[in-house]
Structure 1
Amino acid sequence: MDRFDLGAHTKQISTQNDEAQRWFNIGLNWCYGFNHEEGVKCFLKALEHDPDCVMAHWGVAYGSGPFYNNVWRQFSEAEANAATRLCCDHIQLARKSADRASALENQLVEALAQRFQKPYAVSGEEFDRWDDDYASAMRRVYYANRDDHDVMAIFAEALMTRTPWQLWNVKKGIPAQNADTLEAMDVIERSIAMHDAAGTPQHPAILHLHIHATEMSDEPERAMRSADILGTLCPDAGHMNHMPGHTYVLCGEYEKAKIASEKAIRADNMYVDYAGPFNFYTTARCHDLHLMMYTCMYLGQFKPAIAAAEQMCATLSKEVLSAPDRPQMAITMEGYFSMKMHVLVRFGRWQDIVDAPMPDDQVLFCVSTAMHHYAKGVAHAALNNFEAAEEEQRQFFQAVDRIPLDRKFFNNTARSTLAVGEKMLEGELEYHKGNYEVAFAALRESVQRDDNLEYTEPWAWMHPPRHALAALLSEQGHFEEAEQVYRADLGLNNELQRCAQHPDNVWALHGFVECLRQRGDIDELLVFEEKLTQALAKTDVPITSSCLCRKQVEDFSKSNCCSG
C-alpha cells in the first residue's frame, strides 16, 4: 500500500497521529488515481492509528462508493448492498466524532451522506437521485470553501459522475443534456488558474478531471498542458500516467500517447505484482493496455501493439473473468480479450488469424468468439478463400446471437460494437468476390455504425472502417470519394465529430497522399508528403495502404518516396 510513489500531494486533516495522516494521504491519492479499493485499504490503516479520525471514516465511505469509472448502475446487487451498508456505517462513525473535526470535514461527511441514503441497494433511478443530491450538497461545500483545491476536485467529480461519459453531445459539440459539464469545467480551470497565479504545483486530481472533462468535446487540446503536467506528478500511479494518453491520441500525438502508456503499464505491473489480479483495478490495467495497442496501431508499430494485446489476453484469464465475487467482470471486461484480433486485421496478418485457435470457453468468451469469426472471415476473404470466409460469416452471426444483451464493451453494448464488424466483414467479402458496389455500400454502412457508437477512448471499434473503404475505393480508381473519406478521418473537413477524427495517422496519410498525387494538387501535396515522411519514420512495418486488405498497393516507405 505504501511502497508506491503516488506524488507529493497531501491534505491536512484533523488528527494528532502522524501515521493516520500519512495513511490518509496515501489513500486519497490512490482514489484520485481511480484505484479506490487500494485507497480504502489505506483509510482503514489510518483508522488503526486513529479510530476516531473523521476523515478516515469519510475516506472509507468515499472510496467504497461510485466514481466516474464505476457508477452505481455498474454495481451488482450484492456489491451495491455491501457498499451502501459499509458506507452508511462509516458515515455514522464519522458523525459520532464530529467534535474532533473541522467545519469543512463535517461538511464533507454530511455531503457524502447524500450519496448513501439507505444501507441497502435501491433502484437505478433512486441511485441517480442520490448522485444528484450528493452533487448539490458538494456545491454548497464548494461555495463555503472556494479556495480549497481538494474540495474543487471532489465537487467537480461529483458533477461529472451524475452523467458519466455523457458530458458532451459529441455530434453537436455542446454539453450533453442534463450534464453539469460547464460548471465542472469552470471549477477545474479555476483551480488550475489559481495554482498558476500562486506559482504552486497543480493538483493531480484536477488535471485528471480536466482531461476527462474535455476529451468528448471539440477541444480536447484544451487539456494538453494538463496532460503534460499530470504525466510528471504520480510516478507509480498507473491510471494517472495513462490519462494524458487520452488527450494525446485525440490530438494526433501518438508517440506521446505511447510513452504515457508505457509508463502506465510499468506502474500497473508493479501493482499487480503486489496486489494480484483479483481486484477492480484490473479493469484499469486492461484499459491502459488497450490504449497502448490503439496508439501503436495508429503509429504503424506492430510489435508493441501485439505485445500489449498478448499481455491483455494473459491478464483476462478464465479465473479472473469468472471470479464469483465479481460478477460484473465478464459482463464488462471480456470484450477486451478480443482486441488482439483488431491488431492482426490492422496489420494484415491473414495467416496468423486463420491459424489462431478459437477461445476454449465460448460461453464465457462469447464476444471474443464472435470477434475471432469476424477476423477469420476478413482474413479468408483477403486470401480469396471465399467458401471459408462465408462459413466464418455464418458462424459470426450465430456467435453474435449468443451474446447476452447485457454484455458491454465499455460505453457500448457488445452487439452494437460488433454491428460495425458485421458490415465490415460483408464489405470485405463482397469486394474480394468482385461485387464492388455491394461492397462499398456495406463499408459505408459500417462507417455510419462506427460513427454512431458511444464515445470511448480508445474507440470501441479499433480499425476504422473508413480506412478500408477509402483503400478499396482507391484500388478501383474512385480517388475523389476516397480523398473525402481520408479528409474526414484526418479531421481536415470538419464533417466528423472531433472525437472520431484521427489526426496525422500514418494509414490515412498514406492514402490521402496517393489521392493528392492523382489529383495533382501540388501545394497541399507538399505539406502532406512531409507529414507522411515523418509518420513513416516511426513505423516498424511497411505501410502500403490505409488497409492491408488492398492488394494493389503504393509503397512510400523509401526515404525518397515523396519526391514528385
Structure 2
Amino acid sequence: MKLKMNFSQSLVLLFCLLLFACKESRKAPSRASIDALNLKKGQLITCGPSQQLGTLHFAIDAPAATQSSFMLGLKLLHSFEYDEAEKVFAGIIDQNPDCAMAYWGVAMSNFHPLWAPPSKAELQKGSAAIAIARGLKPASKKESSYIEAIASFYDRWQQTDHKTRCLRFEKAMEDLHEKDSSDMEATVLYALALDAAANPSDKNFKKQKKAGELLQSLAPGAPDHPGIAHYLIHTYDVPELASLALPAARKYASIAPSSAHALHMPSHIFTRLGLWDEAVQSNIASVSSAQCYAQQNGMKHWDEELHGLDYLMYAYLQKGDTYNAKKQLDYLLSIHETSPANFKVAYSFAAIPARYYLESRNWKEAARLPFPVANFSWDDFLWQKAIIHFARVMGAVHTGQTKISTEEIQELKRIRDTLAEQGDTYKAQQVSVQLAAGEAWAKLRSGKKGEALQLMQLAAKMEDSTEKHPVTPAEVLPAKELLGDMLMELKDYQAALEAYEQNLKRHPNRFNALLGAAQAASKTGEKSKAIDYYHRLISIAVTNSPKPELQLAKQSLEEMEK
C-alpha cells in the first residue's frame, strides 16, 4: 500500500514538474509574428480637450503603466475610435509583447460591430491577434474568457457569415456576463453584442430592450463611462425608443469630447426626435473635430467628417435652411479623396446630393444627378449607388422624362438582384423599397393610378417592416411621406393626412411631412389640426428661409387665424 502511495505521489510530482516546465517554457511571441500583424502605430491623435474620453476601470495582469494604457485603449474602443485604439494596443505590445489582453484589444479594434462587417484584411489581423493571445495562455480566467469571447467571432471566419459570427459573440459575452454580473465591462460589451446581433426586422426590439436594461442599470454608478452613454444611444436609435436615450445623448459629448464620433453620436437621437438645432450643433462640432483629426493624420479628409456632413445636411433641410444646406453640398463636391474610402464615405457621397435635390423638390437636377468623383469604385458600394439611381428616377418621373425613368428603374432592379444574389438581404430590401416607390410614381405619370397606389403602399409597408441602417439619419425620402404625396395628387386628402401623420410618428418634425399634413388637414376641413401643423412647421424653420413653401405656409396660417 505504501509503495502504491509513493508511486501515485510520484506521478503527481512528475505532472506538476511538467506543468511547471511548460509554463516556464512559454515565451513572448516572435518579433516576426508580431510584425506580421501589421499593426497601426504612431502618435495618438485626438482633437479637442487632451484625451478626455471618459472614466472606466478594467484591471488586467500587467504593470501599472500598461494598465493605464490599456484603459486608454478601451476608452477609445468604446467611442469607436478604432484606429487610435489599435495604436494604443500596439504600443503596449511593443513594450510588453506577452500582454495577452493587448492582442484582445487589437482584435476588438478590427471588429467594429455596429458598422460594416470587417474586411478580409481586418478579419485576418483579428484572427492572428487572437491566435497569439491564445498562445500566451493567460493565467487569469477573466482574461481568458474575454479572449475566447472575441475569438468566437473570428474563429472559422472563412467559412462563417458575419451574422452568425455576431450571434456567437453575443452568446459568448452573455456567458461572460452571467458568470460575473459585477464585471461592468462584461456587461457593457454584452449590451454592445446584443445591439450588433439585433435583427433589423424585429419590431419588438427584443435585443435592444435587453441591452438598454443592462446599460440603464449601470448608468447611475458610472455616469462618465463612455461605453454606457454611447451604447444607450445606439440601443435606442429607433423611433419607438429614442426618447429613452435623450439624457445619454445630451451627456455623451461632454464625457468624451476628444472623440469626433462622440461629438456626432448624440445627433442620432436628436434626429430621431426632430430636435434640429441640437442636431446641427452636434454635427458642426463633430465635423470640425474630424477635420482636425484628418489634418493631424496627414489625410485630406476622414470618413467621420463625411458621416457628420450627411447628418448636418439632413438637419438643415428640415429647418428649411437651404443656404447652409447648399454650403454642405458644395463642400462635399469639392472633396475627391477620403481615408478610408469605405461604406460610410460612399453613403455620404450618394445621400448628401440626393437629399438636397429631392427634399428641395428640384426634380430637374435630381433627374440628371451625377455620381460624385471619389477615390473608390461605385460598383463596390451598390446600395449607396442605388441612391443616385433612385434620385434620378424621382426627378425623371416628375419632369416627364420617361426614357430616363425607365432606364434608372432597370438599373435599380439590377442592383437589387445583385445584392440578393450576394446574400445581402437587408440592403436588397432597402433598394426594393426605392424600386417600388420609383415604379409607383412612373405608373402614376402613365395614368395607371390603381397600380401606382398599390406599389406605393407596398413600398411603405416594406420600409416599415425594417429599421434604418445606423449609417444614415433617415431614408433619403421616407416611403410613407411619398405615399402621402401621391394621395394628395389623387385628391384622397383624408388618406394623405393619415399617411403624413404616420410618417411624422417615425420621423418627427420633417419639413415636407409637416407641410403635407397641414395642407391635407386644410383640405379635409380640419382647421385646428391644419393650424397646429403650420405652427409646428414655422417653429422649426429658420426665420430667413427662402423656401416658397414656407412663405405659403405663413400666408395660409394668417388666413386661417383671422
**Cross-structure match for 1:556:** 554
SS, match of residue 232 in structure 1 = helix
Flag the 1:512–1:442 CA change in 2: closer, same or farther, 3 A. same
Distance 2:229 2:75 in 1: 13
TM-score (norm 2): 0.77
Task: Determine the C-alpha separation between the residues in 1 that align with 2:406 and 2:418.
Answer: 20
| Aligned-partner residue type, residue 60 of structure 1 | V
Distance 2:394 2:192 in 1: 42
State yes or no: 1:123 paired with 2:123. no
Larger Rg: 2
Q: Say yes or no: does 1:87 pair with 2:130.
A: yes
SS at match of 2:254: coil
Match for residue 29 of structure 1 among 75, 86, 94: 75
Q: Identity of counterpart residues, as a percentage? A: 16
Residue 238 of structure 1 corresponds to which residue in structure 2?
Answer: 260
Aligned residue-pair number: 508
Q: Which runs of 5+ in 2 are unaligned?
A: 1-43
CA contact (8 A) 1:262 1:292 kept: yes
Q: CA RMSD in A?
A: 3.8
Among 476, 481, 501, the residue aligned to 1:487: 501
1:79 is matched by which residue type in structure 2? E
Matched residue, 1:542: 547
Distance (whole Å) between structure 2 residues aligned to residue 408 and residue 294 of structure 1: 32
Shift of 1:87: 2.0
Give the superposition deviation at 1:155.
3.2
Contact 2:145 2:176 in 1 (8 A): no
Q: In the superposition, relative to structure 1, how do residues 363 and 54 fare at CA in structure 2: closer, same or farther (>3 Å)?
A: closer
> Cα deviation per residue 1:496-529 (whole Å; 9 max; x = unaligned)?
xxxxx11232222222222333333344344333
1:413 to partner: Cα distance: 4.5
Match for 1:56 among 99, 102, 118? 102
Residue 189 of structure 1 is matched in structure 2 by 216
Tell whether the 8 Å contact from 1:412 to 1:460 is kept in structure 2 after alignment. no
Q: Take 2:148 and 2:522, find their aligned partners in 1: how far apart are those partners?
A: 64
Write the deviation string for residues 426-449 of structure 1: whole angstroms up to 9, x where unpaired. 343444455544443443333223
Equivalent in 252, 275, 278 of residue 253 of structure 1? 275
Higher helix share: 2
SS at match of 2:102: helix
Report the CA distance between 1:188 and its aligned residue. Answer: 0.8
Deviation at 1:244, TM superposition (A): 1.4
Distance 1:258 1:432, change over 3 A: same
Do the aligned partners of 1:300 and 1:539 also contact (CA within 8 Å) in 2? no
Tell me if structure 1 keeps the 8 A contact 2:320–2:542. Answer: no
Indicate if the aligned counterparts of 2:527 and 2:560 stay in contact, CA closer than 8 A: no
1:433/1:202 CA distance change after superposition, 3 Å: same
Could you tell me which residue of structure 2 aligns to residue 515 of structure 1?
520
1:121-144, CA deviations, whole angstroms, 9 ceiling, x for partnerless residues? 35326735641452134214532x
**Between 367-376 and 30-39, the greater mean CA deviation after superposition:** 367-376
Deviations 1:300-351 (A, max 9, x none): 3334445445655666759954xxxxxxx46x86444321223211112233
1:474 is aligned to 2:472: no
TM-score after normalising by structure 1: 0.77
1:180-200 Cα deviation digits (max 9, x unpaired): x444333211111334xxxxx
**Change in CA separation of 1:78 and 1:229 when aligned onto 2, cut-off 3 Å:** closer
Where does residue 212 of structure 1 map in the other structure? 234
User: Offset of 1:16 from its aligned partner?
Assistant: 7.8
2:478 to 459, 464, 487: 464
Alignment partners' CA distance in 2, 1:424 and 1:393: 13
Residues in 1 aligned to 2:458 and 2:425: alpha-carbon distance in whole angstroms:
18
Per mean C-alpha deviation after superposition, the further-off stretch among 217-226 and 301-310 is 301-310
Answer whether contact 2:173 2:186 (CA < 8 A) is retained: no
**Using the alignment, how far apart are the partners of 2:137 and 2:103 within structure 1?**
6
The answer to whether the 8 Å contact 2:233/2:265 transfers is yes
Residue number in structure 2 paired with 1:497: none
Determine which of 272, 276, 289 is the counterpart of 1:267.
289
Where in structure 2 are the equivalents of 1:386-405 lying within 5 Å? 386=400, 388-398=401-411, 400-401=413-414, 405=418
Per-residue deviation, residues 272-313 of structure 1 (Å, max 9, x unmatched)? 22336699x83x554433322333333333344454456556
**Runs of 5+ in structure 1 lacking a partner?**
196-200, 322-328, 492-500, 546-552
Counterpart contact for 2:233–2:249, Cα < 8 Å: yes
Letter in 1 for 2:308: D
Alpha-carbon distance in structure 2 between the residues aligned to 1:247 and 1:262:
16
Tell me how far apart the structure 1 counterparts of residues 408 and 531 of structure 2 sit (CA, whole Å): 47
